[in-house]
Amino acid sequence: MKMFSHKGGIMTNNSRQHEILDLLYKKGKVSVKEFSKTLYVSEMTIRRDLAEMEKQGYLKRYRGGAILKVDFREMPVTERFLLDANKKKRLCEQALPFLRDNITIFLDSSSTCLYIIPHLIKYKNITVVTNSIKALQNASSLHIPCILIGGEYYEQDMCLVGSLAEEYAKDLNIDISFMTTAAYSLDGTISDFDLRQTAIRKRVLKNSKQTVFLFEKNKLGKKLTYTLCRKSDENVTILIEK
Exactly one of 77, 83, 96, 220 binds a copy of itself (CB under 8 A); that residue is 77
Looking at 23-31, 110-118, 207-215, 218-226, which segment touches a copy of itself (CB under 8 A)?
Answer: 23-31
Taking alpha carbons only, the member of 8, 136, 12, 125 closest to residue 74 is: 136
Q: Note whether 72 binds a copy of itself by CB under 8 A.
A: yes
Q: Is 187 in the site for a copy of itself (CB under 8 A)?
A: no
Compute the distance between CA of residue 136 and CA of residue 70 in angstroms, rounded to an integer: 11
By the rule CB under 7 A, 55 interacts with DNA: no
Closer residue to a copy of itself (CB): 171 or 187:
171
Residue 2 contacts which entry, a copy of itself, DNA, none (Cβ below 5-8 A, type-dependent): DNA
Least Å distance, CB 147 to a copy of itself, is 6
With binding defined as CB under 7 A, does residue 73 bind DNA?
no
Cα 94 to chain centroid, rounded: 13
What strand order describes the sheet that includes 226-230?
A: 183-184, 189-192, 226-230
The count of other CB atoms within 10 Å of the CB of residue 205 is 22
Q: Report how far apart the first and last C-alpha atoms of the chain are (Å, whole number).
A: 44
Number of residues that bind a copy of itself (CB under 8 A): 46
Sign of CA dihedral 101, 133, 25, 242: negative
| Sign of torsion over alpha carbons 221, 224, 228, 233 | positive
User: Interface residues with a copy of itself (CB under 8 A)?
Assistant: 12-15, 18-19, 21-22, 25-26, 29, 60-63, 65, 67, 69, 72-73, 76-79, 133, 136-137, 140-141, 143, 145-153, 155, 160, 164-165, 167-168, 171
